[in-house]
Structures are given as C-alpha cells and as structure tokens.
C-alpha cells in the first residue's frame, strides 16, 4: 500500500534538500519521481525546487485551483510515476491533500510532502493541517534556534531585522525574511 508522508519543520531545516535527495535516489534507480512546487514560489525560478546548499531540480507547478490527482494521472499516462514529491506542501489546499490521498490510495503511488507546519504567527497552514490529519507517516525535520535548542517556530523579519507580528500568512522569502526559533525565544521575540 502506498502512503502519504509529511516531512515538516521550521524554516531552514533542509526540507528541500531532503526532497531533492529522495528524487535523486529514485532517478539513480531508473525510476521517475514527479516533483511539484507551488506556482507562486519562484525564489529559484518558476517550476524549480532549490535548496540553500545549491541543489536544484525542475518541478511541475501547482496553484490552489489545480486538481493534483488529475495532474498526476496525466503525467503517469505519459511516463509512469513511481513517487510524487511535493515541496512547500503547506501551500496545498485541503482538497489537494485529499487528492494526494487518492494518488496514494487509488493509484498506489507514494506521496512525499515537505513543508512548514506553522506560519510566522504560530498558526497551521491549511495544507499542513490537512497533512497532519491525513498523512500515514509524520516526520519532523529538525533545525536549531540561535540558543542551540530545537527550533519549532518561524519568525518573519522586517527589512531592518525586527520581528513582524501581523500581516499576510504568505510572504515568499528566505533567510532575509525568516528565522527559525525555539518556542521560548519565538514567544519572547528574542532573536539572540
């Protein structure tokens, strides 16, 4: 039976690196992994998954209006898909997570999702909430706070390095925009 895996963490824990490593392992064994990334995440270029350590790969894009089950089915009809790997999975809709469940349950293709659990305000993203509810396997990818403790929260920063407390849930950015903190320092708004 194929499963849905949700690998989650705060920012800068290596989620994209882990996804790219899994994709490489499939390719090395002559198998086809279909990579998906949110259409509006164009930090590495449109339709590209990239890690901070310099690895990258082409990916199909999805928007909130897309049916990912149909997308995977069409791709599978062209070239058999052995696994679906989703980067920035927090941007999936609840319906899309259910569609990915269909990929695993009906198409019998494993689905590996990588994304943030919570936003900069400590609230679940819709895609992450659905994945936490539906995934067969949950795995936290760990990173550290400036104090050395496990970082579980993500803070958003202003251009001058202050912590943002209000605003849109989604603002695309990297190290210049977000920092990972332990819950204690996130609550205290302490950047060290």
Give the pair of three-digit tokens for residue 41. Answer: 């995440």
Exposed, middle or buried, 167 (CB in 10 Å: 0-12/13-18/19+)? exposed
27 sits in which H/E element: helix 15-28
What is the rounded distance in angstroms from the CA atom of residue 156 to the CA atom of residue 19?
24
Question: Given 88, 94, 165, 176, which residue is catalytic?
Answer: 88
Q: Is 54 helix (H, G, I), strand (E, B) or coil?
A: coil
Q: Is residue 165 among the annotated active site residues?
A: no
What is the rounded distance in angstroms from the CA atom of residue 114 to the CA atom of residue 38?
12
Task: Please name the residues in contact with 175: beta carbons below 8 A apart, sequence gap of 6 or more.
Answer: 12, 52
Q: Catalytic residue numbers?
A: 88
């Amino acid at each position: 039976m194929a499963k849905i895996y949700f690998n989650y963490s705060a920012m800068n824990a290596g989620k994209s690196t882990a996804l790219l490593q899994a994709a490489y392992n499939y390719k090395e064994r002559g198998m086809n992994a279909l990579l998906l990334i949110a259409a509006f995440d164009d930090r590495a270029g449109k339709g590209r998954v990239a890690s901070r350590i310099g690895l990258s790969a082409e990916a199909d894009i999805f928007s909130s209006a897309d049916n990912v089950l149909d997308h995977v089915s069409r791709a599978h009809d062209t070239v058999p898909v052995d696994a679906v790997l989703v980067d920035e999975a927090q941007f999936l809709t609840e319906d899309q997570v259910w569609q990915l469940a269909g990929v695993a349950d009906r198409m019998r293709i494993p689905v590996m999702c990588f994304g943030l659990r919570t936003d900069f305000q400590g609230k679940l993203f819709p895609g992450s909430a659905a994945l936490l509810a539906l995934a067969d396997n949950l795995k936290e990818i760990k990173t550290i706070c400036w104090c050395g403790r496990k970082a579980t929260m993500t803070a958003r920063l202003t251009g001058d390095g202050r912590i943002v407390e209000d605003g849109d849930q989604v603002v695309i950015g990297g190290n210049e925009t977000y920092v990972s903190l332990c819950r204690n320092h996130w609550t205290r708004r302490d950047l060290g």
